[in-house]
Amino acid sequence: MSDRQLKVQQELQSHIATFIQHEANTNPLITVTHVDISPEFKNATVYFTTIPAEKENDALIFLKREGTALRTYVKNHMRIKQIPHFSFSVDYGERHRQHIDELVRETGTPASEYFAEPEK
């Protein structure tokens, strides 16, 4: 991944999060966890999670419905040659990480013990 691609991803993530903060309800709370952009900057996938988790489908419907407004917002707030087309996806990797954290807390074992080097 090029430095330019990484910078565009980070800036997009920030602008998308700001757009959602201003346009979406607080129920569910939508958090942008990551943005992937294609090498030619034509397409971007926005990964998100919600609180509560049961409202993921409602958030996905909202984001798809507001896709055109999001592109307009990005066009007005970023200096980028080509505005990407956005697709949206629930960040299941983040959900799984949260579940693992929860299981570790329940066992009371420090997480460092799970990832420590095995004794020889």
Distances (CA, A) of 7 to 3, 11, 18, 22: 6, 6, 17, 23
Residue 9's H or E segment, with its range, is helix 3-23
One-letter amino acid of 53: A
**Residue 99 reports pLDDT greater than 90:** no
At residue 9, the pLDDT reads: 95
Q: Is the peptide bond prior to 110 cis by the omega test (within 30 degrees of 0)?
A: no
- What is the C-alpha to C-alpha distance for residues 24 and 30, in angstroms, rounded to an integer? 8
> Would you state the pLDDT for residue 116?
63
Q: What is the pLDDT of residue 111?
A: 61
Tokens 């569910």 sit at which residue?
28
Q: What is the mean pLDDT of residues 61-88?
A: 95
- Mean pLDDT, rounded, of the chain: 89
Query: Which of 30, 1, 33 lies closest to 97, judged by CA?
Result: 33
Does residue 67 have a pLDDT over 70? yes
Displacement of CA 49 from its chain's centroid (Å): 7
pLDDT in tens, 4-54: 999 999 999 999 999 999 999 888 899 999 999 999 999 999 999 998 889
pTM over 0.85: no
**Per this entry, what is the length of the chain?**
120
